[in-house]
Amino acid sequence: MTLAELRAKIDRREARVGVIGLGYVGLPVACTLARVGFHTLGVDLKADRVAHINAGMSPIEGDEPGLAELLAEVTVSGRLRATCDYEDVRTADVVLVSVETPVDDDHRPEYRSLTSACSALGQVLGEGALVIVESTITPGTIDQVVRPLLEETTGRQLNKGFYLGHCPERVMPGHLLENLGTMSRICGGSTAETAETMVALYRSYVRGDLDTADCVTAELVKTVENAYRDVNIAFANEVALICESVGGDVWRVRELVNKSPGRNVLLPGPGVGGHCIPKDPWLLAAAAKGSIPLRLIPAARAVNDGMPQHVVDLITSGLHRLGRPVSGARVAVLGYAYLENSDDTRNSPSESVVAQLVSCGATVLAQDPYVSGLNRDVEEVIAGSDCAVILVNHRSYAALDWPRLITSMRTPLVVDTRRLFRDEAPPMRDACLLTLGAVGLDRPPTNSKPDSTGTTPPRAPGE
């Protein structure tokens, strides 16, 4: 089949589409393609996930507006079917690959899922079919990994026996279906005609811009956009550390800086979690292959990865100042998801904060209204504690009756890493409030206990 014939089939919605990998990217993509009229086949290794999907039940946790309903609709109509068997992909005209592309402990791309998916696909790929990788990949991967693998396993040559492109996903948990329809996409094709054919497919549901480019440009765009975000978050975090040391308030400073044209200082926080930002800078960096000395991207990762330790330092020095060593202290950790009002805990900084507190001998109780197993009664978690540390600004935390909660604490230390409170807010009158990037603790509460250790506590940063 020529690309012109494929474009015609796409325009008539007669093209058969395969989606490999039915996770938080592949499943909404498969449902959306089915919704707009394509006969769609989803492939996943996990038999239970396949069974769930064919029963019209979404295996994706968390609040994804519209996804469960759409999945039920397209499975009942038969336009979407899931399978574990690649054999069914033999008749596909277009195959999207949306499998995980993590990095290993040495920050190198770990392509086991990608290479096994491409190898299995190559065994069955139809003549003239178009393969589009949606996973985020290191620049150069299409040319150096995917293309050779498909040529080897199909026994055909690129742009003769099959076509290849890269259209990186741009979805965020909690907004999967919405993002698929609204976010601009870059269609990187192995040829210009391939890129145009990709545009024809994505135009069936994407209302944002559809830009065309070559594959390496598409690989660069996605990894750069997330490395850019990571570096900017690291900048905000480093400014927060400086503010603490000079008694400034980073939250006020960033507001005022951002009044200056062309400035947009992001928000400091306890670290960077999620499935994209912690890993995509390393995927970008891997493209350098040691040929150029990368300093900024690794340094930004180190700053962000160092924030959980800084939060633990704030807690430790705050407790010590109030006469309570961290060993044996009871700490209430509020927020375990990596993002506000989400249940997604992937790479959450809270995990590191909890582990470090436990290693210091503290007793930790984590609470998160969205995370199953952690949706404990928040008042019970705080009662009798020596520190309440806010790591995620879930909207429910701001609504708590803090004056009453503080009186229930054994030691009234509140560490706020998300600026949930303004110092002048009445709720914190009776607490020692330590705010990331602004510190505070300059006026112990009226009922503060003398330093029972008799030693001079270490100064909290900025004291």
Among 339, 390, 391, 460, binds ligand SAJ (CB under 6 A): 339
Examine the residue annotation and report whether 84 is marked as an active-site residue of this protein. Answer: no
Q: How far is the CB of 274 from ligand SAJ (least distance, A)?
A: 3
- Choose the catalytic residue: 222, 360, 387, 432: 222
CA 177/CA 27 separation, integer angstroms: 10
How far from chain centre, in Å, is Cα 332?
24
DSSP state of 265: -
Single out the segment in contact with ligand SAJ by CB under 6 A; choices: 7-15, 265-273, 283-291, 396-404: 265-273
CA 223/CA 410 separation, integer angstroms: 46
- Residue 267 touching ligand SAJ (CB under 6 A): yes
- Residue 273 touching ligand SAJ (CB under 6 A): yes
DSSP state of 90: G
Name the phi and psi angles at 423, rounded to 5. Answer: -50, -35
Query: Using CB under 6 A, which residues numbered 178 to 217 contact ligand SAJ?
Result: none
Name the residue among 130, 150, 123, 28 with its Cα closest to residue 80.
28
Nearer to ligand SAJ (CB atom), residue 60 or residue 272: 272
Examine the residue annotation and report whether 432 is marked as an active-site residue of this protein. Answer: no
- Residue 176 touching ligand SAJ (CB under 6 A): no
- Residue 141 touching ligand SAJ (CB under 6 A): no
Among 6, 70, 125, 171, binds ligand SAJ (CB under 6 A): 171
Nearer to ligand SAJ (CB atom), residue 25 or residue 432: 25
Name the residue among 306, 455, 452, 462 with its Cα closest to residue 386.
452
- Residue 437 touching ligand SAJ (CB under 6 A): no
- Residue 338 touching ligand SAJ (CB under 6 A): yes
Q: How far is the CB of 463 from ligand SAJ (least distance, A)?
A: 24
Q: How many residues does the chain have?
A: 463
Pair 89, 68: CB distance under 8 Å: no
CA 200/CA 12 separation, integer angstroms: 11
Q: Name the H helices within 203-279.
A: 215-246, 250-257
- Choose the catalytic residue: 167, 276, 360, 432: 276
- Residue 233 touching ligand SAJ (CB under 6 A): yes
CA 17/CA 93 separation, integer angstroms: 6
Nearer to ligand SAJ (CB atom), residue 238 or residue 386: 238
Q: Name the H helices within 287-327.
A: 296-305, 307-321
Q: How far is the CB of 55 from ligand SAJ (least distance, A)?
A: 28
Paired tokens of 50: 């396949």
Paired tokens of 304: 């962000």
| Torsion 21-22-28-33 (CA) sign | positive
Q: How far is the CB of 261 from ligand SAJ (least distance, A)?
A: 20
What type of residue sits at position 375?
A: N
Using Cβ positions, the residue closest to ligand SAJ within the complex turns out to be 274
- Residue 68 touching ligand SAJ (CB under 6 A): no
Binding site for ligand SAJ (CB under 6 A): 170-173, 225-226, 229, 233, 266-267, 269, 272-274, 276-277, 338-339
Looking at the annotation, which residues are catalytic? 222, 276
